[in-house]
Amino acid sequence: MEADYVIVGAGSAGCAMAYRLSEAGKSVLVIEHGGTDAGPFIQMPGALSYPMNMKRYDWGYRSEPEPHLNNRELACPRGKVIGGSSSINGMVYVRGHACDYDHWRDQGADGWGYADVLPYFKRMENWHDGGHGGDAGWRGDSGPLHVSRGGRKNPLVKAFVEAGGQAGYPLTDDYNGEQQEGFGPFEMTVWKGRRWSTANAYLRPALKRKNCDLVRGLVRRVVMCGNRAVGVEATIKGQTQVVRARREVILAASSINSPKLLMLSGIGPAAHLTEHGIEVVADRPGVGANLQDHLELYIQMAASQPVSLYKYWNIFGKAWVGAQWLLGKNGPGASNQFESCGFIRSRAGVDYPDIQFHFLPIAVRYDGQAAAEGHGFQAHVGPMRSASRGAVTLRSADPEADPVIRFNYMSEESDWVDFRQCIRLTREVFAQEAFKPFVKKEIQPGAEVQSDDELDGFIREHGESAYHPCGTCRMGRAEDKTAVVDAQARVIGVDGLRVADSSIFPRITNGNLNAPSIMVGEKTADHILGRTPLTPENAQPWMHPDWQAAQR
Q: What whole-number distance in Å separates Cα of residue 169 and Cα of residue 180?
A: 12
pLDDT attached to residue 49: 86
> Do residues 139 and 119 touch, judged by C-beta distance below 8 A?
no
Global pTM value: 0.98
DSSP 95: -
The reply to whether 402 falls in a domain is: no
Q: What is the CATH number of the domain that holds 429?
A: 3.30.410.40
Composition of the chain by helix, strand, coil, percent to 5: 30, 25, 45
Question: Is 278 inside any structural domain?
Answer: yes
Residues 118, 76: Cα–Cα separation, whole Å: 29
* pLDDT tens digit sequence for 409-438: 999 999 999 999 999 999 999 999 999 999
Picking from 443, 462, 481, the residue at the C-terminal end of a domain is: 462
Identify whether residues 177 and 299 lie together within a single domain: yes
Is residue 368 scored above 70 in pLDDT? no
Residue 130 has pLDDT above 90, yes or no: no
Collapse the DSSP code of 199 into the 3-class scheme (helix H, G, I; strand E, B; otherwise coil) and give the result.
Answer: helix
Q: Mean pLDDT score of the chain, rounded to an integer?
A: 96
Domain that holds residue 205: 1-61+73-123+195-293+469-540
Question: pLDDT band at residue 373, thresholds of 50, 70 and 90?
Answer: confident
One domain, residues 337 and 366: yes
**CATH number of the domain encompassing residue 225:** 3.50.50.60
Is 219 marked as binding a ligand? yes
Nearest to 419 by CA among 390, 445, 441: 445
| Structure confidence by residue, pLDDT tens digits, 338-347 | 999 999 999 9
Amino acid identity of 333?
Answer: G
Is 468 considered catalytic here? Answer: yes
Q: What is the mean pLDDT of residues 85-92?
A: 97
> What pLDDT digit, counting tens, does each position of 155-175 carry?
999 999 999 999 999 999 999
Residue 106's H or E segment, with its range, is: helix 98-106
DSSP secondary-structure letter at 202?
A: I
Q: Is residue 253 located within the same domain as residue 107?
A: yes
> What phi, psi does 197 have (nearest 5°)?
-75, 175
Q: Is 439 annotated as a binding residue?
A: no
Residue 129 pLDDT > 90, yes or no? no
Indicate the pLDDT class of residue 372, thresholds 50, 70 and 90: confident
| Residue 351 included in any domain | yes
Q: What is the mean pLDDT of residues 93-114?
A: 98
Burial of residue 54 (number of CB atoms within 10 Å: 0-12, 13-18, 19+)? middle
Collapsed DSSP state (helix, strand, coil) of residue 109:
coil
Q: Does the annotation list 520 as a binding residue?
A: no
Give the count of domains, the chain: 2
Q: Which of 428, 462, 496 delimits the end of a domain?
A: 462
Q: Can you give the pLDDT at residue 369? A: 72
Task: Quote the CA–CA distance of 379 and 297 in Å, as a whole number.
Answer: 8
Query: Which of 428, 445, 462 represents a domain boundary (last residue)?
Result: 462
Read off the pLDDT of residues 292-329 as tens digits, 9 standing for 90 and up: 999 999 999 999 999 999 999 899 999 999 999 999 99
Are 441 and 479 members of one domain? no
Where do the H-state alpha helices sit in 125-277? 155-166, 198, 204-207, 254-264, 270-275
Q: Does any domain span residue 404?
A: no
Asked whether residue 386 carries a pLDDT value surpassing 90, the answer given is yes
Q: What percent of the chain lies above the pLDDT cut of 70?
A: 99
Asked if the structure places residue 315 within a domain, the reply is yes
- Taking each helix axis from N to C terminus, what angle separates 98-106 and 114-124, rounded to the nearest 10 degrees? 130
pLDDT band at 364 (very low <50, low <70, confident <90, very high): confident
Task: For residues 77 and 225, state if they share a domain.
Answer: yes
Give the pLDDT of residue 134.
84
Say if residue 92 carries a ligand binding annotation: yes
- For residue 320, what are the CA distances in angstroms to 242, 258, 323? 49, 41, 5
Q: Which amino acid is residue 188, in one-letter code?
A: M
Residues 378 and 418 in one domain: yes
Nearest CA-CA partner of 268 in 429, 53, 499: 499
Are 224 and 278 in a shared domain? yes
> Is 398 inside a domain boundary?
no
399 is a domain residue: no
Q: Are 320 and 345 part of one and the same domain?
A: yes
**In-domain check, residue 68:** no
- Cα within 13 Å of Cα(54), Cβ side: 18
The reply to whether 90 sits in an annotated binding site is yes
Q: Are 320 and 456 in a shared domain?
A: yes
Which pLDDT score is estimated for 365?
A: 76
Q: What is the pLDDT of residues 241-282, one digit of tens each?
A: 999 999 999 999 999 999 999 999 999 999 999 999 999 999
**Residue from 97, 468, 527, 544 carrying the catalytic annotation:** 468
Q: Are residues 231 and 241 in the same domain?
A: yes
Label the pairing between strands 355-360 and 340-344. Answer: antiparallel
**Residue 89 annotated in ligand binding:** yes
Q: Is residue 39 very low, low, confident or very high in pLDDT (cuts 50, 70, 90)? A: confident
Residue 370 pLDDT > 80: no
DSSP state of 350: -
Predicted confidence (pLDDT) at residue 186 exceeds the cutoff of 80:
yes
Does pLDDT of 53 surpass 90?
A: no
| Mean pLDDT of the 506-535 span | 98
Assess whether pLDDT exceeds 70 at residue 366. no
In a 10 Å sphere around its CB, with 0-12 CB exposed, 13-18 middle and 19+ buried, how is residue 536 labelled? middle
Which residues contact residue 499 at a Cβ distance below 8 angstroms, ignoring those fewer than 6 apart?
Answer: 250, 251, 252, 258, 262, 473, 484, 485, 489, 491
Question: Does 164 lie in the same domain as 45?
Answer: no
Is the pLDDT higher at 134 or at 481? 481
**246, 309: one domain:** no
Residues linked to residue 66 through DSSP beta bridges, in sequence order = 72
